[in-house]
Structure 1
Amino acid sequence: MSIMQQSSKAQDRPLGIWFQHIQQGQIKLPRFQRYEAWDKGRIVSFLNTVINNLPVGVTLALDVAGDEPFISRHIATAEVSTKVAVTQHLLDGQQRLTAFWRSMHNNYEWEMYFVYFPEFDQSNSADEFEKTIRCQKRWLNKHGNRMPLWTDEPEQCFVRGLVPVDLLCPGDIASKVDSWISQATKSLEPNDNDPDALKKYKVYTATRDKLKDEIVQLRERVRHFNLPYLSLPPDTSKDVALQVFINMNTNSKPLSLYDIIVAQIEEVADQSLHDLEDDLRAKCPKAARFGDVRNMILATSALLQEKIPNNRGMVEMNKQSLLDNWYKLERGLERMAELLECQGVFDEARLPTNAVLAVIAALYDLVPENGDFVAKAEKLLRSYLWSAFFTDRYENSASSRAYADFKALKELLSTPSFDFNDCVKVPVLNRDDYPLVGNDALMNAGWPKAMGIEARGILAVSSYFGAHDFADNKPISAANIVLREYHHIFPDALLSEAGIKSYYALNCALITWKTNRIIGRKDPLAYIKERVDLADEASVKDRLDTHLISYEQLSQAHYGQLTGDDLKQRLEADFNAFMRTRAMLVEKTVIELAAGKQPNIQSIWQHQETTA
């Protein structure tokens, strides 16, 4: 080949031919391709490009001759029943061609696409002067009917100037087009006995003909619209095709690291990471509560290969070993989720730091399912978990620090007879280097709904003992936590009136929305007692105890008609005392938890009473 010879040249291909090839099953997607990802905005933009005959980027295909080089799948909703020879694997352009294919069938579940013709809009509210694509969202009503109903009625669509985009579909659908036009314009056709029948009939036929002409013109434009492509020859090796796939990405949303590793695994093992991921989600449903499963897969796999759980470590890990470790990965992720749940951490929204997830999941490879060592090992894991929540170890450089902690913890767990005195070898457990946060830091931790390790850590501690709801007395759980809201114990309206900041983690409790919506400026205990048996103060106290909230302090917080400086002075003193008491309770609990212990609520309250 001459040095001046062109490496490749884009070839023209109209959408009509693309459609035919997809329909016949000649074009398929390699299994490693990510799934359909475009939202309605991207789809509308692409279809507008087509109907306005504007240029669009090239696609990339691998020519196939004989056996397919990769396991493949059809473009979404384009499955064909006949056995046909595949001639190309689409490496780039999936999103455009999927959007084209599905819109030409208008088979999206919750959206329907139309071409808007302003000249046919009878609503007198036309705010556009050019043909454009519109998306109409759909939904089911309580009777199971797909709404809005007018989208399925040609006449109602037409009076809005809307024509379903599937009428532009390539192929022989003339009868479908004529039928839709006939139904859409039926109301314009006059009765025979109408005195203005002739005049109205002329308007009717002119409108019908105009509508058909517009649709036919757009159909031709769509059919002949050029979507060019580059192709790799059929003798291209799999590794080269995969590398080209990774390097060439005309989609404005770049390939993620996960997408790249999916392709690399396909190369080395001819196995689908997508399929394994789906299987893992089914087997390990609890793990998915704590964040992006794909990131957990990659980070945990990196640690299992003793790689730093960052992009570089994930790229460098051996992809075959990732597959070989898959059972360890599944087992570790689900046991990690169970450990967090037992500690009162139920989901990603309440997780103080995700740096701990992969570390714990990977370490479970060294923890048997049963036996005496399980208790010892999990005590160490609990110590690690709470130390990560209540030191500044993971404020920065979380991946490299997680790796260092993992290595040290792994060394301990590799020797079942390890001594807990050796825990100082684990950086996060070394209290000289990483002391637990103190009382003052706890009092200044912000609102836990925002990101913040200490703030969410405090919320986790307040959930550890069950965090019984003020209204129904149900303990917090993975099932009901989504029904809980972030509630100010000293109401925000009350504190704001006195100019006191209210958004502190220590002033927060997770309770149900019905409890939370009726608070206002009331005294802290007043609204709580409204939600339970007023005569049973023991019940009120018991529920508050599970949140580490002092009943005695709230019972003394009465402000009546106090205003101005009198309110501020009294409220500020009470609020500060409440915050400091709760900080002491949390601090005592944290010390126990970070030592791997499992404190009970009675011992925490007894400690507070003896130190008060």
Structure 2
Amino acid sequence: MAIIENGDKKYSTLLNEIETGQIKIPQFQRQFVWGLASSAKLIDSILKGYPIGTFIYWRTNERLRAIRDIGNIKLPEPKEGEFVNYVLDGQQRITSLFAALRGETIIRDNGKHEDFSSIYIDLDAQKDEDIVVVEVVGKKPFTYVKLTDLMNQGRRFFNDFPEKYDDTIDNYREILQSYQFKGINLKQAEIDIATEVFTRLNVGGRDLTLFEIMVAKTYDPQREFDLSEKFDELRVELSQSKYDTISASSILQLTSLLLERECKRKTILKLEKQKFIDTWFEVVECVKSAVDFFRSYGIPVSKLLPYNALIVPFGYFFYHHPNNPTGKKLQLLEDFFWRVSLGFRYSSAVEGKLVQDIDKIDQILREEQPRYEWSINTTPDFIKNNGYFSTGKSLTKAILCLYTIFKPKSFDNHLDVNIDNSWLKIATSKNYHHFFPKSYMRKNKPEVEYWLYNHIVNITIVDGYLNKNKIRAKAPSQYMSEFSNCNINLKDTMKTHLIDDLETYGILENDYDLFFNSRLNKISKELTARIIPQESDSIELITYEDIEIQDEGRSS
């Protein structure tokens, strides 16, 4: 249980503990942002006897990843086994004090240098005026003194100052040297308690992420393990495969499931540091194996994954099965992927569902068919009513995955379409093309509701150049006729976009109803073919030849 004790420190103690590394700024604190003016105000408040708030420390012998450099100030690490006081509240104040009283130069992130020795004491200032200033232009010599000189110079240094300032100089130095900096020590607290205190104290800022806490907790200088750096290294590796948007939280969940078969926040926070570090290499390898599987399956970039969390059960599979699956295992694994993606599986309560799903992965590893407690629906009716195009929807992304599995070719030359994460962030991105362009539909088909042409069925994946420069707002019959003149393989090209035939799909007549219904049935058929049926599923095919698409409202 956490213990609260007095943490007051005098001037000399405070500075000494900072200089010897006993006071540290934990990594989850924001960067030092106070400037000279704010620091001067703080010192001014001390000289006037105003309260400057209480410093709150987490006193522990745990070694966290800390911000070791305040600006460019090199500070030592404490000795092994010694307690460290991590600053939970007061980082800006404590850093300002140290920089000002030691006259340090701070180097900001943008490269700007800020000289904290340029803080002065105005010896003529009255109580209702600023005693501590950063601007002395126009002031007479020997009517002001640098703060650092006030605190560090001997009596001889002040011989040239008028005698009337002697008492003022001695008084200001005495106030600072004897000042009692109020503090509270939080002892015998777990890291989750300490970070909860930090979050509550910093109500004006953002909550700490689980990853930020785990970066602090798992830091181990002896083993040269820094989770933040390790995750960055992993992202660099994954970027070569265009899977660098995999989230840190998914990696933590996978690690926790491998170690404890649980992945709730409290479980992750209680993971033993050395076990976490020991497991990291294997976590990285099984994540890379999962990414290789997704890519070889036909999903070229991570932005298309219906859920980031899919990396967790697939990483778990490859942890226990390092080789690529074949035969029944592969069939069962594919079925699992589509059931999660089409069944809105990870839209809520992800942690609990991941625990349930690794049990299903265990069954797949044994080549047993899992029993799924959720059903899926691949009927044309369901896809139609839920297919409004939004890149944040799992159903949209699942169907986009289906598109990429067919390795879409460029309309003009039958070469592979280049698909990139940076082009897939929003619905208006370069790779997404409305086959019947939205501007064309607004002008020529005003009777068709917007949601029915801003629909996943009307989306194809193309190169950005074609979308912007050659297609624009043209009618499909027009731009397809143009492409037929330069692409002798156009019929095969269109099949890679799940469009079997230009004529029977109504494209040459600009018949949107026929196009929509034909492609809708094609998509439904292809999704159904990837599912191992269960009794609760709705996967029967329905033909929409006689249904007017504009008669039904949107449900998405």
TM-score interval, normalised by the smaller of the two chains: 0.5 to 0.7
Q: Does 1:427 align with 2:378?
A: no
Q: Deviations over 1:335-379 (max 9, x none)?
A: 111222223334443221233221111121221336xx6554333
Distance 1:594 1:217, change over 3 A: farther
Distance 1:479 1:486, change over 3 A: closer
Which amino acid in structure 1 is aligned with residue 195 of structure 2?
I
Contact 1:76-1:98 within 8 A present in 2 as well? no
| Superposition CA RMSD, Å | 4.8
Q: Does 1:325 align with 2:325?
A: no
Matched length: 460
The structural deviation recorded for 1:578 is: 1.1
Q: Does 1:254 align with 2:188?
A: no
Whole-Å separation in 2 of the counterparts to 1:357 and 1:83: 37
DSSP 3-state at the match of 2:323? coil
Q: Does 1:365 align with 2:306?
A: no
Q: 2:114 aligns with which of 131, 156, 166?
A: 166
Whole-Å separation in 1 of the counterparts to 2:395 and 2:479: 28
Q: Does 1:407 align with 2:359?
A: yes
Q: 2:395 aligns with which of 454, 459, 466?
A: 454
Whole-Å separation in 2 of the counterparts to 1:403 and 1:577: 44
Q: 2:330 aligns with which of 359, 378, 387?
A: 378
Query: Who is 2:442 aligned against?
Result: 496
Q: How does 1:137-536 map to 2 (within 5 A)?
A: 166-169=114-117, 209-210=137-138, 228=181, 230=183, 232=185, 240=189, 242=191, 245-249=194-198, 250-251=201-202, 252-265=205-218, 272-281=226-235, 284-285=238-239, 289=243, 291-305=245-259, 307-315=261-269, 320-369=274-323, 374=326, 376-413=328-365, 415=366, 418=367, 422-423=368-369, 425-427=370-372, 434-471=375-412, 473-476=414-417, 482=423, 484-497=430-443, 498-499=445-446, 500=448, 501=450, 502-518=453-469, 519-528=471-480, 530=482, 532=483, 534-536=484-486
DSSP 3-state at the match of 2:461? strand
What is the percentage of aligned positions where both structures have the same residue? 16
Query: Which has the higher relative contact order, 1 or 2, with Cα contacts under 8 A spaced 6 or more apart?
Result: 2
Q: 1:91 aligns with which of 87, 91, 94?
A: 87
Distance 1:336 1:485, change over 3 A: same
DSSP 3-state at the match of 2:86? strand
Whole-Å separation in 2 of the counterparts to 1:486 and 1:377: 33
DSSP 3-state at the match of 1:43? coil
Contact 2:435-2:459 within 8 A present in 1 as well? yes
Whole-Å separation in 2 of the counterparts to 1:513 and 1:403: 40
Distance 1:536 1:590, change over 3 A: same
Whole-Å separation in 1 of the counterparts to 2:53 and 2:253: 35
Q: Deviations over 1:393-428 (max 9, x none)?
A: 444434323322220221341x3xx3xxx41x3316
DSSP 3-state at the match of 1:92? strand
Whole-Å separation in 2 of the counterparts to 1:230 and 1:517: 62
Contact 1:287-1:334 within 8 A present in 2 as well? no
Q: Does 1:107 align with 2:107?
A: yes
The structural deviation recorded for 1:496 is: 1.7
DSSP 3-state at the match of 2:529? helix
Distance 1:463 1:73, change over 3 A: same
Q: Does 1:8 align with 2:38?
A: no
Q: Does 1:43 align with 2:33?
A: yes
Q: Does 1:80 align with 2:44?
A: no
The structural deviation recorded for 1:333 is: 0.9
Q: Does 1:578 align with 2:515?
A: yes
| TM-score, length basis structure 1 | 0.61
**Structure 1: 5+ residue stretches without partners:** 113-164, 173-206, 560-570, 597-612
Q: Deviations over 1:226-282 (max 9, x none)?
A: 99563649xx6xx54757633431433333323444455469x98644454345445
Contact 2:57-2:183 within 8 A present in 1 as well? yes
Q: Does 1:590 align with 2:546?
A: no
Contact 2:379-2:524 within 8 A present in 1 as well? yes
Contact 1:332-1:364 within 8 A present in 2 as well? yes
Whole-Å separation in 2 of the counterparts to 1:585 and 1:167: 68
Distance 1:404 1:81, change over 3 A: closer
Q: Deviations over 1:495-532 (max 9, x none)?
A: 122332221111112323322224443212423555x4
Distance 1:548 1:36, change over 3 A: farther
The structural deviation recorded for 1:295 is: 0.6
Whole-Å separation in 1 of the counterparts to 2:261 and 2:398: 28
Whole-Å separation in 1 of the counterparts to 2:335 and 2:219: 39
Whole-Å separation in 2 of the counterparts to 1:322 and 1:454: 34
Contact 1:545-1:551 within 8 A present in 2 as well? yes
The structural deviation recorded for 1:385 is: 0.9
The structural deviation recorded for 1:27 is: 5.7
DSSP 3-state at the match of 1:248? helix
Distance 1:89 1:292, change over 3 A: farther
DSSP 3-state at the match of 1:487? strand
Whole-Å separation in 1 of the counterparts to 2:486 and 2:505: 14
Q: Deviations over 1:534-589 (max 9, x none)?
A: 52453333333212135514985467xxxxxxxxxxx6xx2122122112222222
Which amino acid in structure 1 is aligned with residue 33 of structure 2?
I
**Structure 2: 5+ residue stretches without partners:** 46-50, 121-134, 152-171, 425-429, 534-556
Whole-Å separation in 2 of the counterparts to 1:322 and 1:84: 24
Which amino acid in structure 1 is aligned with residue 137 of structure 2?
D
| TM-score, length basis structure 2 | 0.66
Distance 1:227 1:375, change over 3 A: farther
Query: Who is 2:495 aligned against?
Result: 545
DSSP 3-state at the match of 1:91? strand
DSSP 3-state at the match of 1:325? helix
Q: Which shows bigger deviation, 310-319 or 492-501?
A: 310-319
Q: 1:34 aligns with which of 3, 27, 32?
A: 27
Contact 2:506-2:515 within 8 A present in 1 as well? no
DSSP 3-state at the match of 2:74? coil
DSSP 3-state at the match of 2:431? strand
Whole-Å separation in 1 of the counterparts to 2:497 and 2:146: 65
Whole-Å separation in 1 of the counterparts to 2:259 and 2:4: 43
Whole-Å separation in 2 of the counterparts to 1:389 and 1:9: 53
Distance 1:73 1:522, change over 3 A: closer
